[in-house]
Amino acid sequence: MPAIILKNGREKSLLRRHPWIFSEAIKHIDGQPKPGDTVDVLAANGTFLGRGAYSPDSQIVVRIWSFDSSTQISSQFFGEKLARAVKLRERLAIKSTACRLVNAESDGLPGLIVDRYNDFVVCQFLARGTEFWKKEIVSVLKELTSAKGIYERSDVDVRVKEGLPQVTGALEGIEPPDLIEIQEGENRFLVDVKRGHKTGFYLDQRDNRKCVSEYAKGGEVLNCFAYTGGFGVYAAKGGAGHVTNIDSSSDVLALAAKNNELNGIGPDKIENVDGDVFQLLRKHRDSRKQFDVIVLDPPKFVNSRHQLEQASRGYKDINLLAFKLLKPGGFLFTFSCSGLMPVELFQKIVADSALDAGREARMVRRLGQAEDHPAALNFPEGSYLKGLVCEVS
């Protein structure tokens, strides 16, 4: 088997069982592995460290499948890993007809995302290794889930970094309909798994949507970066006096309107506004408009470490504006879905925003991703979703 030999002293992360090997850690390569091939990773002294998938076009040259030298990477390996991941979700007894079945590195399957929406499974193959084993993975998923169809949504930028094309389409069974209706608690949503964000819906925010409903009763709610209106539906069903959804896409707001109708919520209860969140927040500030609850759930601002400073300014800007728009006693739900944004830095940005806004704020709750999005303890990047609930004086 081809082997990746690390530079002296670069084995420390592997000994902590972190699954990524970066290009700068490699001393040399024994053999001529092809993209996606299984390779052994060895310390400079020849000690076995792990076995993973080779990706020469990526900065992450190897993603580890196993740290056990006796493990063979085969169809059986993927069958066992996938079965364990699916069993965990069954034990969690999630109150939804949609959930994440496989969460990449945190389920021991780097580069693989699998979400279920009722009778359909949607996959993202994000790395060379999962692309190499795609046929075997799909075969196992068909057996484990008995899904009517398995659909691929590998139309993401990270594929380009892996030297892979962006692709979508049916992999097995029938193609899903344009919209799939799911049930989440007492609420219903239409999901566009073919063209929507991620695999169609922000399943990781499930628990946080419920949390918003607990704070919204009788209040004026502003839901920023609303997408298809998940937080807005929960707020309205939780008894909010009025909800304003803001998003820059008229297409997703059209689907948000359908979700409102599906849940029996009239246009007098929820207003959908097509526009730039930053500009509209400033407009509300200038008109001295105030809200009881504001939700900030922006898209990922950080795609690489060199973007961290710029992203921090973006988070600072929207949180500063939000603090200025909250009524005394109001609540800010603020999120970052950027895995490269440290939780300590995010909290500092929010704290500095309150200070610069001249508001006294208290953090009453920390929020994270739903339980079907576990984070492996050896992979801290897996805890990507960070949220704070702040009460303002």
Task: Report the CATH number at residue 47.
Answer: 2.30.130.10
Phi and psi angles of residue 36, each rounded to the nearest 5 degrees, phi first: 95, -15
220 and 320 together in one domain: yes
Q: Which domain holds residue 366?
A: 202-392
What's the pLDDT band for 74 if we cut at 50, 70, 90? very high
Task: Report the CATH number at residue 268.
Answer: 3.40.50.150
**If we measure between CA atoms, which residue out of 201, 175, 199, 79 comes closest to residue 119?**
175
Task: Report the CATH number at residue 106.
Answer: 3.30.750.80
What's the pLDDT band for 252 if we cut at 50, 70, 90? very high
What's the pLDDT band for 309 if we cut at 50, 70, 90? confident
- Look at residue 103 and tell me whether its pLDDT is greater than 80: yes
In a domain, 318, yes or no: yes
pLDDT value at residue 306: 76
In a domain, 28, yes or no: yes
35 and 83 together in one domain: no
In a domain, 197, yes or no: no
For residues 332 and 43, what is the distance between their CA atoms, to the nearest angstrom? 48
Tens of pLDDT, residues 3-60 = 999 999 999 999 999 999 999 999 999 999 999 999 999 999 999 999 999 999 999 9
Final residue belonging to a domain, choices 148, 180, 212: 180
Residue 227's H or E segment, with its range, is none
293 and 376 together in one domain: yes
- Look at residue 355 and tell me whether its pLDDT is greater than 80: yes
Number of domains forming the structure of the chain: 3
- Look at residue 370 and tell me whether its pLDDT is greater than 90: yes
25 and 106 together in one domain: no
Give CB contacts under 8 A, 24+ apart, made by 278-284: 278/317, 278/318, 278/321, 280/246, 281/224, 281/318, 281/321, 281/322, 281/325, 282/321, 284/222, 284/325
In a domain, 303, yes or no: yes
pLDDT value at residue 369: 97
242 and 220 together in one domain: yes
164 and 273 together in one domain: no
DSSP 88: H
26 and 101 together in one domain: no
pLDDT value at residue 4: 98
209 and 288 together in one domain: yes
- Look at residue 175 and tell me whether its pLDDT is greater than 80: yes
What's the pLDDT band for 310 if we cut at 50, 70, 90? confident
In a domain, 19, yes or no: yes
- Look at residue 302 and tell me whether its pLDDT is greater than 80: no
Tens of pLDDT, residues 125-139 = 999 999 999 999 999
Mean pLDDT, rounded, for 255-268: 97
Tens of pLDDT, residues 104-128 = 999 999 999 999 999 999 999 999 9
pLDDT value at residue 283: 95
- Look at residue 303 and tell me whether its pLDDT is greater than 80: no
60 and 89 together in one domain: no
pLDDT value at residue 334: 98
- Look at residue 281 and tell me whether its pLDDT is greater than 90: yes
What's the pLDDT band for 341 if we cut at 50, 70, 90? confident
What's the pLDDT band for 349 if we cut at 50, 70, 90? very high
| Residues tagged active-site | 337
Give CB contacts under 8 A, 24+ apart, made by 154-158: 154/123, 154/124, 154/125, 154/126, 156/124, 156/126, 157/303, 158/126, 158/127
In a domain, 185, yes or no: no
- Look at residue 350 and tell me whether its pLDDT is greater than 90: yes
370 and 234 together in one domain: yes
Final residue belonging to a domain, choices 20, 48, 66: 66
Q: Please check whether residue 21 is in contact with residue 14, taking contact to mean a CB–CB distance below 8 angstroms.
A: yes
Residue-averaged pLDDT of the chain: 96
In a domain, 79, yes or no: yes
- Look at residue 300 and tell me whether its pLDDT is greater than 90: no
Tens of pLDDT, residues 202-218 = 999 999 999 999 999 99
Percent of the chain surpassing pLDDT 90: 94
Task: Give the other-Cβ count within 10 Å of 337's Cβ.
Answer: 20
279 and 251 together in one domain: yes
- Look at residue 170 and tell me whether its pLDDT is greater than 90: yes
In a domain, 195, yes or no: no
Mean pLDDT, rounded, for 381-386: 94
39 and 108 together in one domain: no
